[in-house]
Amino acid sequence: MTTPSTLDAKDTVTQKEEPPASTMNIRELLTHNLRQSGILVAFVAIVALFSLLHPNFLSPGNITNIVLQYSYILILAIGMIIVIIGGHIDLSVGSLVALTGATSAVLVVQNGMPWYVGALAALGVGILAGMWQGFWVAYVGIPAFIVTLAGMLIFRGLTFLVLDNISLSPFGGTYYEIANGFQNGLFGGRGVDVFTLVIFAIGVAGYAVNSWRGRRAAIRYKQEVVGLPLFVLKIVLVAAVVMWFAYQLATSRGLPNVLILLAFLVLIYGLVTQRTVFGRNVYAIGGNLHAAQLSGVKVKKVNFLIFVNMGLLAAVAGIVYSSRMNGAQPGAGNMFELDAIAACFIGGAAVTGGVGRVTGAIIGGLIMAVMSNGMQLMGIDQSIQQVVKGMVLLLAVAFDVYNKRRAGN
Amino acid sequence: MTDSILQMRDITKTFPGVKALQDVNLDVRRGEIHAICGENGAGKSTLMKVLSGVYSHGSYTGQILLDGQEVRFSSINDSEEQGVVIIHQELALVPHLSVAENMFLGNERRGRLGLIDWRQTNADAAELMARVGLRENPVTKIGHLGVGKQQLVEIAKALSKDVRLLILDEPTAALNDTDSEHLLGLLRQLNASGVTCIMISHKLGEIASIADRTTILRDGRTVETLDMSGPDTTQDRIIRGMVGRDLEHRYPERTPQVGEELFRVEGWTVDHPSQTGRRVVEDASFTVRAGEVVGIAGLMGAGRTELAMSLFGRSWGHYVSGSTYLHGQQVRMRTVDEAIDAGLAYATEDRKYYGLNLIDDVRHNTSAAALDKVSRAGWVNGLEELKVANDFRRSLNTKTPSVLSPVGKLSGGNQQKVVLAKWLMTEPEVLILDEPTRGIDVGAKFEIYTIINRMVAEGKGVLVISSELPELLGICDRIYTLASGRITGELPRAEATQERLMALMTMEKETAR
Ligand SMILES: Nc1ncnc2c1ncn2[C@@H]1O[C@H](COP(=O)(O)OP(=O)(O)OP(=O)(O)O)[C@@H](O)[C@H]1O
Ligand SMILES: [Mg+2]
């Protein structure tokens, strides 16, 4: 895939009369983007806290577990953040996860069709459901809250119908491998999977090169950048953390399939939101609908696509979830929508739309994931877990509001 | 005797990346009307926000003395308690609430059990409204009043707070001449009854007529304070203080080179979007030729904006009938993107609501209507976009720390330039400018007129809607007048005078055409 050379530093214009580029020190770097660094610091703190409280928390096995356990929430959060940036909400994704999983279970488990037929059918159902909701929101003009509240009931009801009120299992075979399988052993290694390490090393290198080019372009454009030592330190730190994570995976069972899927989705949707006309239109609509309309943005089309995309990603999450559960239940995916929405808001999205990032939503989702997993390990009661998660959501948004008020002054 | 009600000493206020105010001094005498002027982004609004506690004590350095006593406001409530009331550049009224409700918002008249005493509320409101000469029912919804009357409601609201020092940030920017006159008269009256006023304005004529003294700010510093009764205090003198040099003409020279007909509208008729059957624009026909600046003059409510917006991809009201021609060919513009594709651009008068995405940066707002110019196959070329935004920032002389700053943090006039940049980037054939210089300083106005001239020199057409008749007379080749949704006249520049335009603008329906 060739991405446009957005941050290519070569063909820049020379600029006169501009102040020289200045550099930021560590304090400025952290306060410059307080929201983003705040959430990262919170994430690190939570991880540190649990690793102190429970020795097994950072064990290879458990890290792999966290990835597997919450992948579907993260997938939903990617779609949800786009919905929220556009100024909408989607309450139906939990039900849609159930419906798409059920569809594929009926085909694969009940009728013995191949795994990909089930997966494709699930994707088809997801897209259809998205088109249905997109139609009502974009072309009829009914608020997404209402449309998707209806969708939540409708899709749940359809799930019961499709499954005839019973659970279907097991999928087994390739379908089961989607969420439970690993890639390893390709390059051998004794107890440590070399393949996993190589893949991660390539990723880290790509990140470093991209950051470097971005920094150079920023300098050409006389923007404030972090000083060189600090910049290098940041890259090294990221690389160290990521490679440590890779090592943990490599000494466990290798590279989980869902992690590959997730990385792929994050990359694609990161690009879609930041570098495509579609992504830009979503921000424009959420930021000021009237201005977007008067700028010639095809608002209806964009809103429609936002929901089609959400349907598609809900189906992907549905496939992953049903695969992980190795079956479909009528009650599957209950309350997933709330976890996905919470992930977005913890990750810095604004209720009023126009603000948010895919990476933010992912970190928000990871915070939820790490907390749930940590509390489970420690045997904390379900009810307490709910309370804690609720508090975290509230505090994260309160922190946002407080920040905004301070920035205004 | 110099009895100062207010002294601001060495005020310095910085925002990330911008020093908005640096060692600013302001001295306001008791009982005077003190004007503040300066270019867009000079720091006028910021200074007033510091004074009124919007920016709390501690977020700036320097001292504020009220009646010789140092005050440290940490919120608007603190300053209001001391009788300092600010009316912001952007009105802060809630459209769905009544006049009375707006007036006592946050300051409700309570009766027994802490419930709102509606009778008291409406009676008090009526009394205050009488003081500002507003003859409306206190239960009328604010949204149903024109901007001029809303401004009066703001003043009445200030009066309800026992104001001693009233601050008005560009109160007449959105008003037509009649409403402005009324407002200024009211200010004089309030002033006579002992209220000291500070008024920010870009309208030098109005400053000359009302202010006792004027303080000029430039680039966040005090330049000087002029006594308006002084013999050599002329408008040119003020302009020199503001821009730091002499500005010889208010309007740039241009030799009109009018060519073929470019844009023609025939029989344009539009109904109100929600009140069925209410004609807002009726049978409007006009032309714009290549290389021509055409003006549309009309009073508030004449349907100028409605006409322009409905032409621009039918973005206002219900289209009834009428056709549009570009280069003699009929074109249909049913949606905004069709209009943009055809070569039309419309820069709105309401930049907050229709013009800008305030939470996004200057760069993205600049490219919002012309993303296709910096993208290929759906992918935006971010570097190209940045370059274009920077080019516009330089050619329009927009004051912003960087094109990556949020538009919402720019001063009003600079936001207007971003709106302009956004439409220039679409490279239109016909540019419709709706109140393009509202709230813009003299220097920047000159720049905008220059941009208009540059466009017509390239053979494009420009249609300017403005409430300021001198402006229309200064820049247009031809002026149409609009009254109650009908075009009531057309005057070439040579024949147009303020009086003749006014007469056509106030023409009654029966006699029109
Ligand atoms: N909240 C803010 N954050 C960052 N910069 C700001 C903020 N408010 C104002 N500024 C900057 O401070 C400077 C002064 O702005 P201010 O609004 O006081 O100008 P002004 O003199 O009122 O201009 P105008 O005539 O256009 O209203 C501008 O450069 C503006 O970009
Ligand atoms: Mg201002």
Does residue A69 sit in the same domain as residue A123?
Answer: yes
pTM of the model: 0.83
Closest C-alpha to ligand 1, atom 12: B20
ipTM: 0.84
| Residues A321, A285 share a domain | yes
Query: Domain range for residue A204?
Result: 185-252
Instruction: Tell me the pLDDT band of A28, cut-offs 50, 70 and 90.
Output: low
Are A78 and A214 within one domain? no
**Residues A175, A202 share a domain:** no
Average pLDDT over residues A146-156: 97
Nearest residue in chain B measured CA to CA from A287: B357
Average pLDDT over residues B159-178: 85
Is residue A7 situated within a structural domain? no
**Sequence spans of domains, chain B:** 1-83+162-248, 95-160, 258-343+429-513, 353-427
For B376, phi then psi, to 5°, come to -135, 130
pLDDT tens, residue by residue, B383-420: 889 999 999 999 888 888 889 889 998 888 889 899 99
Rounded to an integer, the average pLDDT of B352-380 is: 93
What's the pLDDT tens digit per position in A262-304? Answer: 999 999 999 999 999 999 999 999 999 999 999 999 999 999 9
* Residues in a beta bridge with B224: B216
Please report where in the chains the tokens 């000079």 appear, as a residue. Answer: B42
Contacts of A350 in chain B (CB under 8 A): 359
Measure CB to CB from residue A290 to each of B354, B382, B394 and give the nearest one: B354
pLDDT of residue A19: 42
* Residues 6+ positions from B182 with CB-CB distance below 8 Å: B133, B148, B152
Do A72 and A44 reside in the same domain of the chain?
yes
pLDDT at B256 over 90: no
For residues A82 and A206, membership in a common domain is answered with no
Q: Do domains B1-83+162-248 and B258-343+429-513 have the same CATH topology?
A: yes
Q: What is the pLDDT of residues B320-334, one digit of tens each?
A: 999 999 999 999 999
Q: Is residue A14 part of a domain?
A: no
**pLDDT-derived band of residue B460, with 50, 70 and 90 as boundaries?**
very high
Distance CA A145, CA A89 (A): 6
**Listed range (A94-108, B161-175, B481-495) with the worst mean pLDDT:** B161-175
How many contacts (CB atoms, under 8 Å) link A and B? 107
Per DSSP, helices labelled H in B76-203 are 76-81, 99-103, 118-131, 147-159, 177-192
Highest mean pLDDT among A300-314, B265-279, B340-354: A300-314
Is A4 part of any domain?
A: no
β-sheet bridge partners, residue A107: none
Split at pLDDT 50, 70, 90, the class of A6 is: very low
Q: A42 and A119, same structural domain?
A: yes
Tell me how far apart the alpha carbons of residues B325 and B329 are, in angstroms, rounded to a whole number: 5
Residue B48 corresponds to which tokens in the numbers above? 């007033």
Which residues have a beta carbon within 5 Å of ligand 2, which is an ion? B 45, 89, 412
B1-83+162-248 folds as Rossmann fold (3.40.50)
Superfamily of chain region B258-343+429-513: P-loop containing nucleotide triphosphate hydrolases (3.40.50.300)
For an interface test with A, the pick among B75, B383, B418 (most A C-beta atoms closer than 10 Å) comes out as: B383
Q: DSSP per residue over B65-91, as a string?
A: EETTEE---SSHHHHHHTTEEEE-SS-
Counted domains in chain A: 2
Assess whether A37 and A142 both reside in one domain: yes
What would the mean pLDDT of B256-268 be, rounded to a whole number? 93
Probe residue for ligand 1, chosen from B18, B39, B217, B396 as the CB with the greatest number of ligand atoms within 8 Å: B18
Please report, for the domain that includes residue A88, its CATH number. 1.10.3470
Residue A118, in any domain of the structure: yes
Q: Are residues A52 and A116 in the same domain?
A: yes
Is the model's pLDDT at B511 over the cut of 50?
no
Instruction: State the distance from the centre of ligand 2 to the C-alpha of B409, rounded, in angstroms.
Output: 11
Q: Say if residues A5 and A275 touch (Cβ distance below 8 Å).
A: no
Alpha-carbon distance of B56 to A75, in angstroms, equals: 43
- Do A279 and A130 lie in one domain? The reply is yes
Which pLDDT belongs to residue B177?
Answer: 77
Question: B-chain residues within 8 Å CB-CB of A291?
Answer: 353-357, 368
Instruction: Please list every residue in chain A whose beta carbon sits closer than 8 Å to the beta carbon of residue B348.
Output: 294
pLDDT tens track for B74-125: 988 899 889 999 988 777 788 788 888 888 887 777 777 778 788 888 888 8
For residue B293 the two structure tokens come to: 């600046």
* Residue A61 and residue A252 in contact, taking contact as beta carbons nearer than 8 Å: yes
Is A337 domain-assigned?
A: yes
Residues A51 and A156 in one domain: yes
pLDDT at B246: 67
Residues B186-201 have a mean pLDDT of: 92
Note whether B122 and B139 are within 8 A (CB): yes
Nearest chain A residue to B376 by CA distance is A4
Q: Is residue A23 part of a domain?
A: no
Q: Which of B232, B183, B384 is nearest to A10 (CA)?
A: B384
In a domain, A143, yes or no: yes
How would residue A35 be classed by pLDDT, with cut points 50, 70 and 90?
A: low
pLDDT band (50, 70, 90) for residue B247: low
**Both A283 and A370 in a single domain?**
yes
Those residues whose C-beta lies under 8 Å from the C-beta of residue B68, and which sit 6 or more positions away, are B4, B7
HEC sequence for chain A: CCCCCCCCCCCCCCCCCCCCCCEECHHHHHHHCHHHHHHHHHHHHHHHHHHHHCCCCCCHHHHHHHHHHHHHHHHHHHHHHHHHHCCCCCCCHHHHHHHHHHHHHHHHHHCCCCHHHHHHHHHHHHHHHHHHHHHHHHHHCCCHHHHHHHHHHHHHHHHHHHHCCCCECCCCHHHHHHHHCEECCCCCCCCCCHHHHHHHHHHHHHHHHHHHHHHHHHHHCCCCEECHHHHHHHHHHHHHHHHHHHHHHHHCCCEEHHHHHHHHHHHHHHHHHHHEHHHHHHHHHHHCHHHHHHCCCCHHHHHHHHHHHHHHHHHHHHHHHHHHHCCECCCCCCCHHHHHHHHHHHCCCCCCCCCCCHHHHHHHHHHHHHHHHHHHHCCCCHHHHHHHHHHHHHHHHHHHHHHHHHHHC
- Identify which of B391, B373, B392 has the alpha carbon closest to the alpha carbon of residue B381: B373
Distance CA B469, CA A326 (A): 76
Which of A211-220, A303-312, A372-381 has the weakest average pLDDT? A211-220
Does A4 lie at the interface with B, CB-CB under 8 angstroms? yes
